[in-house]
Amino acid sequence: MLQQYDERNADLRYWVNGALRHRDEPGLSPFDSVVQGGDAVWEGLRLYDGGIYGLQEHLDRLRRSALSLAFEGIPADADIIAALRATLAANGMRDGAHVRLTLTRGVKVTSGMDPRLNRSGCTLIVLAEFKAPVYDTSGLTLVTSSVRRPSPDVLDPRIHHNNLLNSILAKIEANVAGADDAMMLDARGFVAETNATHLFAVTGGELLTPRAVACPEGITRDTVLRISPVPVHVRDIAQVEMYTADEVFCTGTMGEIAGVVTIDGRPIGDGKVGPVTRRIAELYRTHARENATKI
């Protein structure tokens, strides 16, 4: 299992709409929309030496997602940042922490799907944990899932929503197969992403990554596109191109940059994390630390 419990989180405090609570203290109403139907949006943030990398980009995506779902009473960026500051301070966190920022449609007056039942504005949840990048630096194994990523006509991936059943079903398949994660295809059969991260392939000294058609426009993905030391091409990628790539790696806030050494039992390149992957991982860590927004 890629993630493990960290004893430093035994007494952490989390934020719900202005109140800091112990991790064992309930703080979310059963009438909240995230409980009723996964009706919420979220962002994953990483803390580097008192700063959060890509903070404004994450807040912008959170707001776009909330507006796309017609949320009302969306808190201002300044209020969200204040909640982040309070939560990190309460937990004595300055580095090596991951934050799950969730914004729900809010509490309903009675159970039901209709957003008109929401009359009290959004619920803001800030959950910060001591958590190093979760992936093994020796390389990940993937299997292709039978579960497909939906296209924008089903559920637009630009909405960074909390209904993660599509990903969870793929992760279950990976678990059963004994792999670390699942590679997911789009409805046309092209590579989309994994159940949790974006994918890149290194082929012939160049970098390839799928178009953001059936995957979100990731903050870490965008950073790699900008800092890559080799040419980058964004296009449809066939499954076989991943099998035959020189290197494959995945990207995400929780795991940063992690090499992939096997897909569907096929070794990628020489079966080890490659030099381009290691170089980009190093560049990303330096870039994130140097450009984190102090809070």
138 falls in which pLDDT band (50, 70, 90)?
Answer: confident
Residue 75 confidence (pLDDT): 98
Q: Which of 220, 292, 254, 219 minimizes the C-alpha distance to 51?
A: 292
Sequence-distant (6+) residues with CB within 8 A of 44 are 58, 98, 99, 100, 101, 252, 253, 254
SS (H, E, C) 165-229: HHHHHHHHHHHHHCCCEEEEEECCCEEEEECCCEEEEEECCEEEECCCCCCCCCHHHHHHHHHCC
Sequence-distant (6+) residues with CB within 8 A of 285 are 256, 257
Residue 135 confidence (pLDDT): 76
From residue 169, how far is each of 176, 184, 188 by CA, in Å? 11, 11, 19
**What pLDDT digit, counting tens, does each position of 96-128 carry?**
999 999 999 999 999 999 999 999 999 999 999
When pLDDT is averaged across residues 148-171 and rounded to a whole number, the result is 95
**What pLDDT digit, counting tens, does each position of 211-264 carry?**
999 999 999 999 999 999 999 999 999 999 999 999 999 999 999 999 999 999
Residue 137 confidence (pLDDT): 72
Residue 122 confidence (pLDDT): 98
- pTM of the predicted structure, to 2 decimals: 0.95
Residue 40 confidence (pLDDT): 98
Is residue 222 within 8 Å of 246, Cβ to Cβ?
A: no
Residue 282 confidence (pLDDT): 96
Is residue 249 within 8 Å of 138, Cβ to Cβ?
A: no
Residue 64 confidence (pLDDT): 98
Q: Which residue has the tokens 């009473």?
A: 73
The conformation of residue 105, written as its DSSP 8-state character, comes to -
Is residue 155 within a helix (H) or strand (E), and if so which, with residue range? helix 152-155
Residue 134 confidence (pLDDT) above 80: no
**Cα 77 from chain centre:** 20
**What pLDDT digit, counting tens, does each position of 24-70 carry?**
999 999 999 999 999 999 999 999 999 999 999 999 999 999 999 99
Mean pLDDT over the full length of the chain: 96
Residue 136 confidence (pLDDT) above 80: no
Residue 6 confidence (pLDDT) above 90: no
